[in-house]
Amino acid sequence: MTKEELKRAIIEQILEIAPDVDESEIDPDANIQRSLEIDSFDFLKILTSLNEKVGIEVPEADYAKVDTVEHMAEYFSKHL
């Protein structure tokens, strides 16, 4: 999976978990939780669904490393 494919998958999961979010509101460099007003439970659901999709589990200690779409795509691409 390329980094662009990972970004697309991340955005799709955000939109699935938070249907009130409009795709145009998603800034790849902005903190996902703060910018989209997603609570920690929904953020965890996004990570869990991405784990199922790409097979990479993000340990709690690394949550700060996956705070934006860009950082999340980088993290997943390094661990594929």
| Domains of the chain and CATH, by start | 3-79 (1.10.1200.10)
User: CB of 7 within 8 A of CB of 71?
Assistant: no
Q: What is the pLDDT of residue 37?
A: 95
pTM for the full predicted model: 0.94
pLDDT digits (tens, 9 = 90+) for 14-68: 999 999 999 999 999 999 999 999 999 999 999 999 999 999 999 999 999 999 9
